[in-house]
Chain A
Amino acid sequence: MMKIGLDIGSTTIKCAVLDDNNKLIYKTYERHYSQITEKIADILENIRCKVKGAENAYFAMSGSAGMGVAEKCGIDFVQEVYATRVAANTFIDNADVIIELGGEDAKILFLTGGMDVRMNGSCAGGTGAFIDQMAMLLNVPIEEINELAKKCEKTYTIASRCGVFAKSDIQPLLNQGARKEDIAKSIFMAVVNQTVAGLAQGREIAGKIVYLGGPLTFLPELRKSFDEVLKTEGICPDDSLYYVSMGAALCADERINFDEVISKVKAYRGSGNFAFNNPLFQNEKELAEFKARHAKAKVETGELKGYKGKAYIGIDAGSTTLKATVVSEDKKILFSQYQSNSGNPVPIVKEILEKIYEINPDINIVSSAVTGYGEEIIKNAFGVDIGVVETIAHLTAAKSFMPDVEFIIDIGGQDIKCFKIHNGAIDNIFLNEACSSGCGSFLQTFANTLGYSVEEFSELGLLAKQPVDLGSRCTVFMNSSVKQAQKDGATIEDISAGLSISVVKNALYKVIRVSSASELGSRIVVQGGTFLNDAVLRVFEKETGREVVRPNISGLMGAYGAALYAMDISRGEGESTIIKRDALEGFFHRIAMTNCGLCSNNCRLTVNTFSDGRKYIAGNRCERPVTKRMPDESFNIYDYKRNLLDSYEPKSGSRGKIGIPMGLNMFELFPFWYTFFTQLGFEVVRSPYSTRKLYLGGQHTIPSDTVCFPAKLMHGHIQWLIDNGIKNIFYPCMSYNFDEHKGDNHYNCPVVAYYPEVVRANVRDIQKVNFFCEYLGIDRRKDFPYKMYEHLLKYFDGIEIKEVKAAARAAYDEYETYLSKIRAYGDDIIKRAESEGKKIFVLSGRPYHADPETNHGIDRLIAGFNVAIISEDIVSCKVDKFPTTVLNQWTYHSRLYSAAKYVSTRPNMNLVQLVSFGCGVDAITTDEVRGILEKNGKIYTQIKIDEITNLGAVKIRIRSLLATIQQNDSKN
């Protein structure tokens, strides 16, 4: 009997027809551009015409996007992973594991040794859609990524959790001149890591491996990357695209009635019940008034050709676009350009400069400035006079439109920047971290997938009747919501308007976190490329209830501001250092890769060399490869902490070795446990500080891919200890930490408290060792030795209670000593900084954020700005317990509140909070810390850290903060 199977994926429809012998006799594969029902009808018509005997066939449907249609039209539906499995069991002999990547899904099926199926949950990172996005970012067709990857020489670490993260990793690499070939391969490696870490969940991928699905079929290099990581050679069978549809066909047990199915599918219009918002405009008239009002905010333009006066050049090398302006001495724009940076801004700036010289060969450039992601490379490449941090550039531009501006919001390709202005100085900065769902590239991506240009697409939304309510969340979730809305009958217009609403809601409620418009003040300037979109502008005005100013050069504000800034700084005097016309002709740019090797970070450096011999080094986390000098460690408490911890060296003992994983709470408690076990006669070996390599060593045993990065690192630490032959590993569960009497309770957070349980259940090799993960209460000093003694007896012979008591006493003493040493050194830093007039940053987080891989060298990066760095525990002890507006119940977190309180009283101190992505507890602490600081007129700065952190964004933050502090200081 003949069987028909359809697989309705997120982007494509696959169809398979099998004959009596399960031979594939007809197949199609096409993109559906969300026109699902039409395509299904087409395909079925075709089968009816082209396949003989089809009228008696059995029929079933599968695929995530087909569920609703199938249900409503009464078509037999087979879950797609299940279908894959059925097909694999039929067509492939002895397969052990199937890895299937689709448009938005990633799946691993374990067929042998305990059947198991895994599919990605709420996160679609590392799937086809992700690779598509990356191709777009590299500005190459998707197939070419494969070709590029073949020629790779080295790989970079790129976060694959989500396209957004990856973008912020790739963009700086491109801007720093990294090769596309290397990035292409790195993208594939990121996909592999995401799949392995996210789906294997502790299970080993081994045996005969089968690759299925679009990306793995079309991209042999991706398969190769999987092979490399899994140390195997997987197969990609014929018809690997059709396994789901073939599986559906195999499961089909209802005969098809073509007429009925086709007419039902055609009639399917979805429920029509999608949540929607009010239209953006009631009618055309309202729209016309709106357009007229905004046409007024305008900068005058002038003629560059023949201009004889003083000229200023401003360049904004943004994340996805490059903007340049030439401004006259009366602030007219003589020349402007706005274009995609195609991944490498250097040749584009060269062209622009050539063009400017061409139009006006005698131009008198007095000064120039560059801002944005590519600031440093452009400044070095072309001898631009000034580098200016983006926030200041934008403020400068905004003031020229509205001198008394109170709030600026700039939404660009992947950044949202907002700042409040108080008395003409930046008072508070909000940047989007970790999430770009409120940004322009998000609209762009959607427009493109639906087959529109972004301009057309957003125009469509203006007069939509029922803008879809898509909520304010991540792009990836949004994809599925859009699909759902389409199925429920939303039009393209509704979706376009809905997306614009989401952009604004994300910006307002996720990034700025406003609850009412009055918080923004009444004088608002909006800018950035995304606001050129009238729909976004309209939503912003509606949502805030304010009429705002959008300069006609909304997309050019950074570049215009930079030019004005150059004008300000130069005071109209002198001659610019920017490259001259003749030098430009011979301009070239060479890129070489090297490893720094000057410290244990061993950063991958990109060395850019330019025609005049000028060099620009990128990829470094500190200034050492540039200045060849040791960074000054004496003002960095984090360095001191690490050095101090290093001083606890293993001492051989009669009871053998015991290993301690150096992460989470064990980081700060190490001196305690070190002393305890050394006293008992153990040789205490700790795992080293984390590295990428150490992390990857344990990655495959992580069961929950959304847990915080510091917790994930523990798997690597445990694995390291096991791999290094440690037979006893000590990692206790601890509901409670020490009570420092600063809060209402002294808990550890749930992850810190119980992570040993996860290790015990998921790190397979743990069975090979004696793993101590009992529940201990070190906060109860009197009870502790007795309880600990009972536990120790279970693991070790011949330990006496007397010894345990003595060891405990020594441990408590040493912990105190350790803390007081740190505090003393911290106080010393404060004193020295104050006498030298240095700013002091209280870099706050958890004790384990001192780990260099966890904080990605942020401490050293900040120290590079000539700032003294202390941590929260240095000052938290200087404050008495005080009431907070949250339940203050975690020991480590109490320190944050106390530190914020202390910083509030010190004019030369500022607090920067490090927050781990996925840390649920910090959703509470960040608001509270911010509240305490702002109540006292301090600026709150937050830096999100994860597996991978974009240090470029961190730099912007820190520079903006410093610029603001400077402004405030000069005002006072």
Chain B
Amino acid sequence: MAKLVYDKNGRLIFTKEMKKEYTILLPMMAKIHFSIIRNVFTHYGYKNVLLEDDGPEIAQVGLKYVHNDTCYPAILVIGQFIHALQSGKYDINKTALMITQTGGGCRASNYIHLLRKALVKAGFENVPVISLNLSGLEKNSGFSITIPMIRRFLAGLVYGDALMLFNNQTKAYEVNKGESDALVQMWIDKLSQEMSKGDGFSGSQLEKNLDKIAADFAEIKLNKVDKIKVGIVGEIYVKYSSLGNNNLEKFLLEQGCEVNVPGIMGFALFKIDNRLEDYKLYGGSKLKFNVLSEAMKYLTKMESYIINSAKNHGFLPPSSYAHTKELIKGMIGYGNKMGEGWLLTAEMAELIESGYENIVCTQPFGCLPNHICAKGMISSLKRKYENANIFPVDYDPGAPRVNQENRIKLMLAVAKEKMKSDKQVSKVEDKLPVAK
């Protein structure tokens, strides 16, 4: 059995020996993306399991081991880990955990530490935790991130974004119920196979695959009725995680909406761009700036694959990062980088511009950056786009679903009315209220 090794500050290290014996548990966030990306770990020889457990007990476990005033994502992610460790499904002497760490100024960078504290409280102090970060925050002898690995991660994100995009554009209108979801699953399986072998990440492979994916989705028979178009933005975890947002996408679909969730690539570009902006704003190393500019170019290229495949097959492509960024110039500064920062505001602008004027802005109750870049920017957005119909919705273990759904229904009622009045622009309104 692998020996437990600690660093000088007493942190338990994930060793080379562990790499051979241990299974790494990965937390769930965006299901499509994570199902694909996990195969990168498999390819590099890390045994891994993606945690799919959900249900109210996850939050309960989280609340027991995490400070209750901490953000909801931390409660859920940590709750999911501990719940898994307690389930008896895994040999806790041969299990490690992995969690991302961005190193930003928001408290999310502390999740890993909260997780370790929680593990100690729950009696799992011998379970090592691996930090997945690009900031060089914590090193482990048995786990390393290399450039080829990062390229494969990014490919996974691109695939995930594309599948999510096409799925959202067909699912609401498909004639044969379930067809889009089945196609997503088919592609997840197919890509998983490729990626666990280490394939599918080069530019040409990406282009080819994305073209096939788009073509497949274009085949789905649609009934294009008028639907309310709703965008979802927010804090990254509650935005994507159905556990975090009480199955928001499903709820909106049931209410007869088409949903648009901006992809994760935007966030990846944002995180690199932040460092470029920091350089511009405050100064720093020119060399670093040049290296990061190259990375930025690489990601932009990847992003263009999605845009092109969408265009080529008649889907509404997402705006490019550069365009999205341009939209909020003068509204909020590019130095606003903690959490989702200005990108959140920009995604709302981009959605409105693409016809998704109705927006659910999700955030954990009391999310600090979102006081600024979400709730704080709604009035600016409304000044610029008078038809914007944005509703912030808070998620937390105590916030009852009824209230959230009630708020969303209000948004939908306003949207419906707008849709009606757009149709009868010329008709004089009698008793129906119309926004002046």
Partner-B contacts on A (CB < 8 A) = 22, 64, 67-68, 77-82, 85-86, 88-90, 111-117, 119, 121-122, 201-203, 250, 275, 469, 471-474, 477-478, 480-481, 483-484, 509-510, 513, 515-516, 703-704, 706-707, 711, 733, 735-736, 745, 747-751, 753-755, 757-758, 761-762, 773-777, 779-780, 782-783, 786-787, 883, 885-887, 889-890, 918, 920-924, 926-927
Contacts and interface: CB of A to CB of B under 8 A. Distances in A.
A753 B376 contact: no
A921 B278 CA distance: 23
Contacts of A757: 332-333, 336, 372-373, 376-377
B158 interface: no
Contacts of A755: 372
Nearest to A883: B9
A122 B396 contact: yes
A117 B337 CA distance: 30
A924 B70 contact: yes
B392 interface: yes
Contacts of A774: 333
Interface string B324-341: 000000011111111100
Given A703-B371, A703-B379, A774-B333, 20 more contacts: A77-B409, A82-B410, A112-B436, A119-B407, A121-B392, A469-B56, A478-B398, A484-B401, A510-B68, A516-B121, A733-B335, A735-B105, A754-B333, A754-B369, A755-B372, A758-B371, A761-B376, A920-B107, A920-B368, A924-B113
B122 interface: yes
12 contacts: A22-B431, A112-B436, A201-B379, A473-B396, A484-B400, A703-B379, A757-B336, A757-B372, A758-B376, A787-B282, A787-B283, A886-B117
Contact of A887 (B110, B372, B435): B110
A513 B67 CA distance: 8
A758 B374 CA distance: 10
B203 interface: no
B105 to A, nearest CB: 4
B400 A706 contact: no
B413 interface: yes
A886 B122 CA distance: 18
B413 to A, nearest CB: 4
B399 interface: yes
A122 B414 CA distance: 21
A786 B64 CA distance: 50
A887 B283 contact: no
B368 A751 contact: yes
B287 interface: no
A923 B67 contact: yes
Contacts of B121: 515-516
B60 to A, nearest CB: 7
Given A515-B64, A754-B369, A703 B413 contact: no
A513 B409 CA distance: 37
Contacts of A114: 382, 386, 435
Given A117-B410, A926-B67, A887 B60 contact: no
**Most chain-B CB neighbours within 10 Å: which of A471, A747, A887, A890?**
A887
Contacts of A782: 283
Nearest 5 interchain pairs by C-beta: A473-B398, A783-B283, A777-B282, A775-B335, A747-B105
Interface in B106-124: 106-107, 109-110, 112-114, 116-117, 121-122
**Most chain-A CB neighbours within 10 Å: which of B56, B334, B366?**
B366
A887 B113 contact: yes
Nearest to B413: A82
Contacts of B184: none
B1 interface: no
Given A64-B406, A733-B336, A89 B109 contact: no
B394 interface: yes
B412 interface: yes
Nearest to A701: B379
A733 B65 CA distance: 35
Contacts of A758: 371-372, 376
Contacts of A79: 406, 409-410, 412-413
A436 to B, nearest CB: 15
A84 B147 CA distance: 58
B57 to A, nearest CB: 8
**Most chain-A CB neighbours within 10 Å: which of B332, B367, B375, B378?**
B375
Interface in B356-400: 365-369, 371-373, 375-380, 382, 386, 392-394, 396-400
Contact of B433 (A86, A735, A924): A86
Contacts of B428: none
Given A471-B59, A920-B367, A750 B339 contact: yes
Contact of A121 (B117, B338, B394, B431): B394
Interface in B169-198: none
Contacts of B436: 111-113, 115
B379 A203 contact: yes
Contacts, number: 245
**Most chain-A CB neighbours within 10 Å: which of B68, B105, B281?**
B105
Interface string B409-420: 110111001000
B407 A121 contact: yes
Contacts of B402: 64, 67-68, 480, 483-484
A274 B373 CA distance: 36
Nearest to A201: B379
Given A787-B281, A920-B366, A753 B403 contact: no
Contacts of B377: 757, 761
A753 to B, nearest CB: 6
Interface in B263-303: 278, 281-284
Given A471-B59, A754-B338, A509 B68 contact: yes
A117 B338 contact: no
A571 B372 CA distance: 61
A56 B406 CA distance: 29
Contact of A477 (B9, B400, B412): B400
B105 A749 contact: yes
Nearest to A112: B436
B405 interface: yes
A890 B64 contact: no
Contacts of A471: 59-60, 63, 397-398
Contacts of A64: 402-403, 406
Contact of B378 (A111, A250, A478, A703): A703
B432 interface: yes
Contact of A920 (B70, B112, B117, B406): B70
A82 B335 contact: no
A890 B105 contact: yes
A469 B412 CA distance: 30
Interface string B49-90: 000000010011001110111110000000000000000000
A675 B417 CA distance: 56
A761 B67 contact: no
B282 A90 contact: no
Given A480-B403, A735-B335, A751-B371, A920 B69 contact: yes
A294 B173 CA distance: 64
B293 to A, nearest CB: 19
Given A67-B402, A471-B60, A923 B107 contact: yes
Given A81-B410, A471-B63, A886-B110, A777 B281 contact: yes
A111 B106 CA distance: 37
A927 B369 CA distance: 21
Given A79-B409, A121-B394, A122-B399, A751 B372 contact: yes
A761 B371 CA distance: 12
A753 B64 CA distance: 31
Contacts of B283: 777, 780, 782-783, 786-787
A921 B333 contact: no
Given A477-B400, A748-B105, A754-B372, A761 B332 contact: yes
Nearest to B368: A750
Contacts of A113: 436
A49 B380 CA distance: 53
